[in-house]
Amino acid sequence: MTVVPGQAADQLEHDFPVQRTCPFAPPAEYEKLRDEAPVVRGKLPGGEVWLVTRWAEARQVLGGATISTAPTTPGSPVPLMSAEPPTPEILDEQARQSHGLFIDMDPPQHTRYRRLLIPEFSYRRIKEMRPGVQATVDRLIDDMLAQGTEADLVEAFGLPLPSLVICQLLGVPYSEREFFQSRTRRMVTSPDEADRIAAIGELREFLSGLVAEAEQAPGDDLLGRLVPARAVPHEDMVGMMFLLLVAGHETTANMIPLSVLTLLRHPDQLRRLLDDPGLWQGAVEELLRFHSIVDWAGFDRTATQDIEIGGRRFGAGDGFLVLGASANRDERVFPDPDRFDIQREARPHVAFGYGVHQCLGQNLARAEMEIALRTLFERIPTLRVDTPDEELSFKYEATIFGMNALPVSW
């Protein structure tokens, strides 16, 4: 870690990561860090890192041309997440599974993979998918209503919806969607690490089979359009599809139940949405900003050249973690940032990142959230959560925040 004399040596070092303690706010320490400086020193289990706390500097780091996202770049904070260095076996497995994971690549390699997928996540393509998403949402609500007058919204709605949408995207046959859903659920929710790893292996094998089928007989779906071009090798295509699954499932699955709880705890704003459905798009943006459930996950970066950030100079090899949940509460950009306001201009948020690595699937995530939340409250206007917040189960220790369960009734 480079410290330029007279510039950064006076900064205190903060243990990181820190946990949330409130479902409606990032860690309380973030406000103090923003007040201290736009970039502060942090201490990971395996070494030091720079923590980026404010919105402007977050965008600078996330979008910087001389900033690397590859975990193999010298100085990357990724190996420092653990106090123990990875074993050769772990390194070999990570290398094996890195094929096609373009989120961890820099241009021009990253650009090559991303360009293949951009048309599949364009506004036009997502608009074409909306009827299918709507049908899936309606079917899940039908199933909930058929079961009685109460449900766990995480299990019955939040988890299956993005999994089924990804099935639609990839062309997973209906006969195999239960297998796909069950493995996805285990990958996200199983408390047993060995079981999660096994589920990941089974999913990758399943995806490999889908890619192989598309190589032989392409259908009218994402794989059917990409695979025949032979733009990337088989294993790379499997890795790309697995990345879409991981990035597109856990985030949306966590955001939907958390958003339902937030709206129920703000009944005046929910009433405005029900009276004026045109407000839903803005409400989704505010929910994304307000919760910022990904926070720093995937926002690890490394300087490849000397750079100035927030008035301080940093050297090549300095590692950064951008605190998205802090940047999205920056008072300099979002007035009264701790207030939930569906009519706020929240779109400058960095919940999806910024720059060339900005989330590729953000249009799909927005569509899923909007359709799911609007339909749920329109079809079940008496939906309620009777359990006090302090008795609900939240993922305070997880890297990506969310809920373990959300008991609802109507």
**Beta strands at 47-52 and 319-322: parallel, antiparallel or unpaired:** parallel
Average pLDDT, the chain: 92
Residues 6+ apart with CB under 8 A from 159: 181, 184, 185, 188, 189, 253
**What's residue 11's pLDDT?**
57
Contact criterion met (CB below 8 Å) for 70 and 106: yes
% of the chain exceeding 90 in pLDDT? 78
43 has a pLDDT exceeding 90: yes
Q: CA-to-CA distance for 64 and 307, rounded, in angstroms?
A: 9
* Distance between first and last Cα of the chain: 55
pLDDT in tens, 172-187: 888 888 898 888 888 8
pLDDT of residue 88: 75
When pLDDT is averaged across residues 241-254 and rounded to a whole number, the result is: 89
pLDDT of res. 395: 94
Considering only residues 162 and 188, tell me which one the structure prediction assigns the higher pLDDT: 162
Is the predicted pLDDT of residue 346 greater than 80, yes or no? yes
pLDDT, position 12: 66
* Residue 8 confidence (pLDDT) above 50: no
Instruction: Please state the domain extents for the chain.
Output: 13-409
The answer to which of 81-85, 319-323, 344-348 has the lowest mean pLDDT is 81-85
Q: What distance in Å separates the CA atoms of residue 381 and residue 134, rounded to the nearest whole number?
A: 18
- Higher-confidence position of 343 and 96: 343
CA dist 9 → 29, 302, 313 (Å)? 20, 19, 12
Rg of the Cα atoms in the chain: 21
Question: What amino acid occupies position 236?
Answer: D
For the domain spanning 13-409, the CATH number is 1.10.630.10
Q: What is the pTM of this model?
A: 0.92
| pLDDT over 50 at 7, yes or no | no
Backbone angles phi, psi at 398, to 5 degrees: -85, 155
pLDDT band at residue 406 under the 50/70/90 scheme: very high
Q: What is the mean pLDDT of residues 207-222?
A: 92
Question: Confidence band (pLDDT; 50, 70, 90) for 10?
Answer: very low
What's the rounded mean pLDDT across residues 151-169? 94
Among 8-12, 42-46, 330-334, whose mean pLDDT is lowest?
A: 8-12
Residue 197: the pLDDT is 85
Structure confidence at residue 5 (pLDDT): 37
Least confident of 82-96, 281-295, 302-316, 347-361: 82-96
- For the CA atoms of 10, 11, 15, 16, the dihedral, rounded to the nearest 10 degrees, stands at -150
Q: Is the pLDDT of residue 6 over 70?
A: no
Please report the DSSP string for 254-291 in residue order: HHHHHHHHHHHT-HHHHHHHHH-GGGHHHHHHHHHHHH
Determine the pLDDT at residue 3. Answer: 44
What pLDDT, in 10s, does the model give residues 115-136?
A: 999 999 999 999 999 999 999 9
Secondary-structure percent of the chain, ordered helix, strand, coil, rounded to 5: 55, 10, 35
More confident position, 272 or 231: 272
